[in-house]
Structure 1
Amino acid sequence: MEHEHNHKIHKHNVEGKNLVYSILLNVVITVAQVVGGILSGSLALISDALHNFSDVLSLLFSYVAHKLSRRKASINQTFGLKRAELIAAFVNAFTLVLVALYLVYEAISRFFHPHEIASDTVIWLALLGIVVNGASVLLLKKDADHNLNMKSAYLHLLTDMMASVAVLVGGLLMKYYQIYWIDSVMTLLIAIYLIVVGADLLQKSTKMLMLFTPEHIDIKEMVREVHKIPGVRKLHHIHVWHLNEEELHLEAHLDCSEDIKMSEFNVILHQLEEVLHEKFGINHVNIQPEFYKEDSKNFIVQD
């Protein structure tokens, strides 16, 4: 059995310190919004604070995962800790949805029992949220263009900034028009957004942790492309999965049309790696060569 590995991952040097700065900034705004929400009586402000706190956890998980994922593989950890960021994403998404459901309950209760809110506090803290989240967005923008983990954090912060804009609008309506029920409406909107974002992240992280075939991979199309390579008879017993957000792995059996030497198989393997990388983004290939071996030739085989 021959195992061949192909690593074609062009990594941007992600600056972990930018995550640290973003974490510190978001801790400041979270504490300020919680205190301000309690003093002003604004549920929308507290809900935005909880949203920011969830992002503090997300950024913290991203930072820890960023560090862990760079640990070298060992005898006991043959993949290293590259899947740490997927576990972090799953935990963060799950807690995000739980927080959002609690906010929905509180918003509905408050809607039927509105009370006066210190709108000035809401306005100033919403402005602070816009500034802080805006600064965090700028810090992570460059890394977000090169790393999916950072892009996720970047998008979280960008939408945080938009949530703060919504809270600001609510604060202005309360100050100048005394529309206090708008606080519950803004809370409900933020909660719905959190559920949508959290559920999507939960679904994606679950699929990766369960080793589902990535959505952009068409197994049948991939097989058709591989079968165009001279010397290939049948690609079968296929597994395709994400190790993490950057690494896409494939392992399969490759039945050759001729009884060739291993040096000749290496030529076929090189062509196969090029096709899989260029057309499907697969950067790690593990192939078992065969010649009319007596086993199942189905694309997918239950082990």
Structure 2
Amino acid sequence: MHKHNVGGKNLILSILLNILITVAQVVGGLISGSLALLSDALHNFSDVVSLVISYVAHKLSRRKASNTQTFGLKRSELVAAFVNSLTLVVLAIYLSYEAITRFYQPVFIQPGLVIWLSVLGIVANGLSVLLLQKDAGHNLNMKSAYLHLLTDMLASVAVLVGGLMMKYFQLYWVDSLMTLLIAIYLLIVGAGLLKRSTKMLMLFTPEHIDIKEIVREVHKIPGVNKLHHIHVWHLNEEELHLEAHLDCSEDITMTQFTALSIKVEGLLYEKFGINHVNIQPEFHREDPKDFIVQD
């Protein structure tokens, strides 16, 4: 299984670019008197915080295991993905509220400075999106950061379209419409990411794993009587764990069981991508033999 090496350098660059956008929008908002720009500056500042959370989680996840942290802090990126996806959903609801409100209470501003600052936002956020695009396909934490930035870029496009429409056609409702469409998109992708990160944090069986298929394949190995009491979960996106009881068909020695377990581990890795296996050996033990047993 190929392991994609996710780097944190691109996150640092994205953080710096978003700080630049935030400062520019605060200055522009104060000069133009645009409440919309100041609100967007606050939005970008929240994204800086989200990116910092992603970066810290990325660094923490690389810490080595210890006596007090036997898994290290590998799940920190899942926590960051959960927090960031939750903020995406909250932000989508807030943007929807603002967009609907402005349909009835249009905000009239000087559009010139808004247009130029929206172009700056498109360029800077677009560059940040490109920086994180590759890592987003391999890491849930990076994907949450990527979606924040992609949404910012789309919001800047909406601001640009709204600014042009206000300047040349006095169509002030366009900004609200674009914002509402972006909010709907954000709600869809944010909810999906939130659902996925929640399942991982709650140790749900990964969707691509079929417990019954695992059992069928393991039972084909000579010496296996029954695999049961099974748990399969993601430690993080790179590590898939399985623990189970393995009832042997014969009363074998430890050496023989070691050879048997190596076969089981090889099968689970090659066919299911499970890279950490913990098996408890049994022979005629009186305990529940169901595939899934409540501990």
Deviation at 1:49, TM superposition (A): 4.4
Corresponding position: 1:41 with 2:18 = no
Task: Say whether the 8 Å CA contact 1:96–1:198 is kept in structure 2.
Answer: yes
Amino acid at match of 1:205: S
Partner SS state of residue 245, structure 2: strand
Task: Say whether the 8 Å CA contact 2:81–2:144 is kept in structure 1.
Answer: no
Counterpart of 1:205 in structure 2 is 197
C-alpha distance in 2, partners of 1:152/1:277?
28
C-alpha distance in 1, partners of 2:156/2:271?
41
Q: Quickly say closer, same or farther: Cα 1:150–1:88, change in 2 above 3 A.
A: closer
Amino acid at match of 1:112: Y
Counterpart of 2:142 in structure 1 is 150
Corresponding position: 1:194 with 2:186 = yes
Give CA-to-partner distance per residue, 1:91-124, whole Å, 9 cap, x none. Answer: 2222232232222222222211113232222221
Q: Quickly say closer, same or farther: Cα 1:196–1:53, change in 2 above 3 A.
A: farther
C-alpha distance in 1, partners of 2:131/2:199?
30
Task: Say whether the 8 Å CA contact 2:80–2:141 is kept in structure 1.
Answer: no
Corresponding position: 1:27 with 2:4 = no
Counterpart of 1:229 in structure 2 is 221
Counterpart of 1:271 in structure 2 is 263
Partner SS state of residue 257, structure 2: helix
- Residue 294 of structure 1 is aligned with which of 286, 290, 294? 286
Deviates more, 1:84-93 or 1:237-246: 84-93
Q: Which runs of 4+ in 1 moved over 6 A?
A: none
Task: Say whether the 8 Å CA contact 2:17–2:128 is kept in structure 1.
Answer: yes
Task: Say whether the 8 Å CA contact 1:212–1:241 is kept in structure 2.
Answer: yes
Q: Quickly say closer, same or farther: Cα 1:162–1:98, change in 2 above 3 A.
A: closer
C-alpha distance in 2, partners of 1:36/1:282?
52
- Residue 166 of structure 1 is aligned with which of 155, 158, 170? 158
Deviates more, 1:279-288 or 1:269-278: 269-278
Deviates more, 1:31-40 or 1:257-266: 31-40
Partner SS state of residue 92, structure 1: helix
Structure 1: runs of 5 or more not aligned: 1-8
Aligned-pair identity in percent equals: 76
1:1-303 superposed matches below 5 A = 11-36=3-28, 39=32, 41=34, 43=36, 49=41, 51-144=43-136, 146-303=138-295
C-alpha distance in 2, partners of 1:216/1:62?
26
C-alpha distance in 2, partners of 1:75/1:99?
39
Task: Say whether the 8 Å CA contact 1:54–1:96 is kept in structure 2.
Answer: no
Amino acid at match of 1:199: A
Q: Quickly say closer, same or farther: Cα 1:185–1:146, change in 2 above 3 A.
A: closer
C-alpha distance in 1, partners of 2:158/2:115?
10
C-alpha distance in 1, partners of 2:238/2:49?
22
Deviation at 1:298, TM superposition (A): 0.3
Q: Quickly say closer, same or farther: Cα 1:115–1:72, change in 2 above 3 A.
A: closer
Deviation at 1:20, TM superposition (A): 1.0
Deviates more, 1:9-18 or 1:233-242: 9-18
Task: Say whether the 8 Å CA contact 1:253–1:289 is kept in structure 2.
Answer: yes
C-alpha distance in 2, partners of 1:271/1:51?
53
Q: Quickly say closer, same or farther: Cα 1:110–1:35, change in 2 above 3 A.
A: farther
State the Cα RMSD in Å: 2.3
TM score, norm. by length of structure 1: 0.87
Partner SS state of residue 140, structure 1: helix
Task: Say whether the 8 Å CA contact 1:42–1:122 is kept in structure 2.
Answer: no
C-alpha distance in 1, partners of 2:89/2:16?
24
Deviates more, 1:99-108 or 1:57-66: 99-108
Amino acid at match of 1:41: S
